[in-house]
Chains A and B, each alone.
Chain A
Amino acid sequence: MTICDRNSSPEEIENAVDTWLDAHWDSDRRCAKGDSSYDEATWLKTVFEAGFCVPTWPTEWFGLGLRQKQARIIEKAFAKCKAPGHSRDRFHLGAITVFKVGSDELKRAMLPTLLTGPICCLLYSEPNAGSDLAGVRTKAIPDGDEFVITGQKIWTSNAQEAEYGMLLSRTDWDVPKHRGITFFLFPMKQDGVEVKPINQITGESEFNEVFITEARVPASHIIGNLNEGWTSFQTAIAYERLIMGQGITERQGKSKADSEPQLIRLARKYDKYDDPAVRQKIAQALAYRELNNLNMERAKEEILKNGSSSLMSLGKLAMSRIQHGEAAIATDLMGNEALLDGEESLDAANVNFDAAKAYMNSIGGGTDQIQKNIIAERVLNLPKGPDLDRNTAFRDVKSS
């Protein structure tokens, strides 16, 4: 029996999820009812079995078959009592990609594992394949019903926690670069996988180098088809950019209209809020954020109507201007205080962190420059520039 379905009214869904949470989640202790501390694996399994993990997916694929709007109700209810594990159909890139382009066999075998485990890491970038991702050199060599993987990945966020990663590898060196790539769901916890954290400008160490030496992955873990990995990968990267374009990777819920924007708070605190020049800058910054939200809303309307929307590809680029811009204004507002950091000034620590973190949006997931190329070529239909390696067998392509 499912708790609610496509025909449930918003009130019914809200009731169902509240009742369920009441019975299963202890909001005070932030753990499952009856437990004394949070046990992630067990809790995720409980959410998964109720279908709240991926509510918009069909019931035969672990979901409830709900519409996006209905799913938002569940998301809100979970967020309200700070219960984890919901909305993985929005945020779990690995599961989403397997669900969308994986074989039924792979979906059946792996989705329950993915959905009840940590999020997947993205084993894309390499020292010599950044913006030019189709130039990956990590080798995948068939061996019986497995492939043997050797190569180096870099900038891999969350590689330490991840149990699986989506891996771009080369399986054919004698064809042009886009045509010899295979996309795998790759098990991280095995011999031959070494993860070394990298210190970031934010002070965090989220991303890592990943050295892979003769590690193994079953052939059944190919996402899509052999040598057609570039196509499957498009689904994953499009989703990642979509998420970034909605500001979901940001530190706090900055997009909310009713909470006091950080810039207003800082301007008041540092006594600059009456300065008309400052007010203009703040108004424009808030407007950019609101306009991006409106564009994304319009994109959703267009998708409902026509099945797709080119507006979606603008979000990530717009978000870069928003994040870098807000951090710059905040820095200016604080005067000398912005020189400080850490315990010395919490405001400064936050703003300095945001100023650095903004690069995650403008570099990660494809730089702003690459985004602009994509918008120009795919949305505006401007002609591609000459690619020196498009028709060359990858074996013969020059690299730095």
Chain B
Amino acid sequence: MSQISDNDRQALRDGFARFLETNANEEKLRQGIASERGYDEGIWGQMAAMGLLGIAVPEDLGGIGGGAVDVALVAEEIGKKLLPVPYVSTCVVAAELIARFAPVSVQRELLPKISGGTLVVSVGGAGDCIPYADDENSLSATHGNDGWAVSGDVSYVPHGGHADYHLLGTMENGSQALYLISASENVSVSPMTSNDPAQRLSRLHLTDAKAVKLEGLAPSGLGQASMRSIAAAAAEQAGAARAIFDITMEYLRTRYQFGRPIGSFQAMKHMAAELLVEVESATSAALTAARMIDAGSVDAAKFVALAAFTCKDAFRAVSAQAIQMHGGIAYTEEHIAHLYWRRARASIPLFGHSDHYREQYLKAREAAL
């Protein structure tokens, strides 16, 4: 349950949205993309100052102990501006897992830094909660005199190049294991050229990298962390879908052909009306999933699955049609539409494909009968 009151939540969201309005324009986005990390570190620092990075972190560890709805509101605004910050991986996935399963000393050390914006954790490997599961990874862990060490290769790790820690998942005898590894010399990182230029995917090569193993991965806790991560990603996608939709509607009102705004053509209107159904459905699905998590509802898993495929499918459809509705201008690198489109394409396998979640959703519906 969230420790944040309704009024504070609204203020938090409004404050963040206002901040982004002036500080996260397209120019900044492109500057960030051209920079080494892929995002504007100044914005990340400001988000920390506003308390946004510690929403999922308990109050006694430097966070504000918010709920899934609070996270969703922030993620939605991040999505609208396409901020390529490591919010979901560091502040949701890693924060949730560390807060639940890491030794207390590690929690005390890392969680305040996550809230403070001074620590980025990249997440990769196999299993639940992994943004881009890499089932082909060759990671293996051994236990020696001075604790755990991990060796092997893992690909598709977002923010791997500049992370301070890596949280890597492996499957051991069919169950999930998670290792927390400092970005030391024993981890070498090579960038993977990514279709979404804002993404910094990496391949990590580990040689006896010293690791802390997260213990006692209870399925219920893992499930909670995983639902929260998926719901956050869904909210980000819902926000992004709405933003590119709004950009497109504005163009339809202002671009003239045949002596009239192109939005007065019925072919455009009908595409727009159909897409609005998708945009609103995505918003409703993301919000409901987060609310159900916060309420501890037995239906939470069902609504998270629904949000997972609804939001990524909506984002994909809306951003694809946005290019078509803009015409040639959106076929240019200069126009922002392709950045949304690329992010939507990068969302397709994020936390698993839509088909997977449709199946989960159907199973949950059956179980409720």
Q: Which A positions have Cβ atoms within 8 angstroms of B?
A: 257-261, 264, 276, 279-280, 282-284, 286-287, 290-292, 294-295, 297-298, 311, 314, 317-318, 321, 369, 371-373, 375-377, 379-386
Is B359 touching A261 in the complex (CB atoms < 8 A)? no
User: Chain A contacts of B273 at CB under 8 A?
Assistant: 317, 371-373, 375-376, 380
Complex interface bits, B350-369 against A, C-beta within 8 A gives 1, otherwise 0 = 00000100110110011011
> Residue B269 at the A interface, CB < 8 A?
yes
Chain B residues, CB < 8 A from A294: 281, 284-285, 288
Q: With A291-B284, A295-B281 as given contacts, are A283 and B362 in contact (CB-CB < 8 Å)?
A: yes
A-B contact pairs, 14 of them (CB 8 A): A283-B365, A287-B306, A287-B358, A294-B288, A298-B283, A298-B287, A318-B277, A373-B273, A379-B276, A380-B249, A380-B269, A382-B253, A382-B263, A386-B264
A381 and B309: CB pair below 8 A? no
Q: For chain A, what secondary structure do more than half of its interface residues adopt (helix, strand, loop), or is it mixed?
A: helix
Residues of A within 8 A of B306 (CB): 287, 290-291
Q: Which of A311, A371, A385 contacts B266 (CB 8 A)?
A: A385
Is the C-beta of B272 less than 8 angstroms from some C-beta in chain A? Answer: yes
Q: How many A-B residue pairs have CB under 8 A?
A: 113
5 closest pairs, A vs B, by CB? A376-B269, A382-B263, A372-B273, A283-B358, A294-B284
Check if B331 is an interface residue, CB within 8 A of chain A: no
Residues from chain A with Cβ under 8 Å of B268 in the complex:
376, 382
**Given the contacts A287-B310, A291-B306, A382 and B272 also touching, CB distance less than 8 Å:** yes
User: B interface, how many residues as a size bin?
Assistant: 35 or more
Of A284, A287, A314, the residue contacting B280 (CB under 8 A) is A314
Report if B335 contacts A (CB, 8 A): no
Complex Cα distance A371/B280, Å?
A: 16
| B265 within 8 Å of A (CB atoms) | yes
Which residue of A is nearest B245, CB measured? Answer: A380
A18 to chain B, nearest CB (A): 27
The residue among A279, A373, A383 with the most chain B CB atoms within 10 A of its own CB is A383
Which residues of chain B have a CB within 8 Å of any CB of chain A? 249, 252-253, 260-261, 263-266, 268-270, 272-274, 276-277, 280-281, 283-285, 287-288, 306, 309-310, 355, 358-359, 361-362, 365-366, 368-369
**A34 → chain B closest CB, angstroms:** 40
Contacts of A258 in B (CB 8 A): 368-369
Whether the Cβ atoms of B277 and A283 lie closer than 8 Å is no
- B249, B261, B355, B358: residue with the most chain A Cβ atoms closer than 10 Å: B358
A283 to chain B, nearest CB (A): 4
| Contact among B266, B284, B361 with A373 in the assembled complex (CB-CB below 8 Å) | B266
Q: Which residues of B contact A287 (CB under 8 A)?
A: 306, 309-310, 358, 361
Q: Which chain B positions have C-beta within 8 A of A276? A: 359
Beta-carbon contact of B365 and A261 below 8 Å: yes
Chain A residue at smallest Cβ distance from B306: A287
Knowing A314-B277, A381-B253, A382-B249, the reply to whether A295 touches B264 (Cβ < 8 A) is no
CB A288 to nearest CB in B, in angstroms, measures: 8
